[in-house]
Amino acid sequence: MTSASLGAALDADALLPGARYIASPNCDQRPPNTAVSLIVIHAISLPPGEFGGDAIERLFTNRLDPGAHPYYQGIHAQRVSAHFLIRRDGTVIQFVPCDQRAWHAGQSNWRGRERCNDFSIGIEMEGCDELPFEDPQYRALAHLLAVLQLSYPVVDIVGHADIAPQRKTDPGPGFDWSRISR
């Protein structure tokens, strides 16, 4: 669903009404008494630089076929997820309830706190470092951020590159930070 049809609050199961829900097994419980205070924005395209298709959904649900593309041979066994994916057309897919820990940040650190997965929500934007993101994506992201900021004591909104600068570059220079409220 696009931002116009998304709910204004998370439901009792920490899901975004109106978003398509595809359960990922790549999640677990957050540590006790750990509040969500960080939102991490990522960029993903599978294969790299190509958009559409179901490869991202397959990666996040451990069903990526290593024979479908040469790039998949190196990543098909990874156990990763994000809470949300925002497609190029603004469609929002949720993979992990917000109250659970998605496996999106990897080895990471923000303001001296390691293990950012423990206290963050991960949002994947369908895109790559080399290309700008689309207007419908920014509209959906703005709506999603507003809902999350009403639901959790969010202090910071950062990119994957901010929490893992030695390993990651996303969401990259094509992401326009001025289009979101931080």
Q: Give the active site residues.
A: 124
Q: Which two tokens stand for residue 55?
A: 């490869």
Can you tell me whether residue 78 is helix, strand or coil? coil
Can you tell me whether residue 174 is helix, strand or coil? coil
Contact 38, 116 (CB under 8 A): yes
| CA dihedral (3, 90, 166, 79) positive or negative | positive
Contact 123, 180 (CB under 8 A): no
Token match 């006790």: residue?
Answer: 32
Strand ordering across the sheet containing 92-94: 20-21, 92-94, 84-86, 120-126, 38-44, 156-159
Q: Which two tokens stand for residue 169?
A: 């570059």
Distance CA 106, CA 103 (A): 7
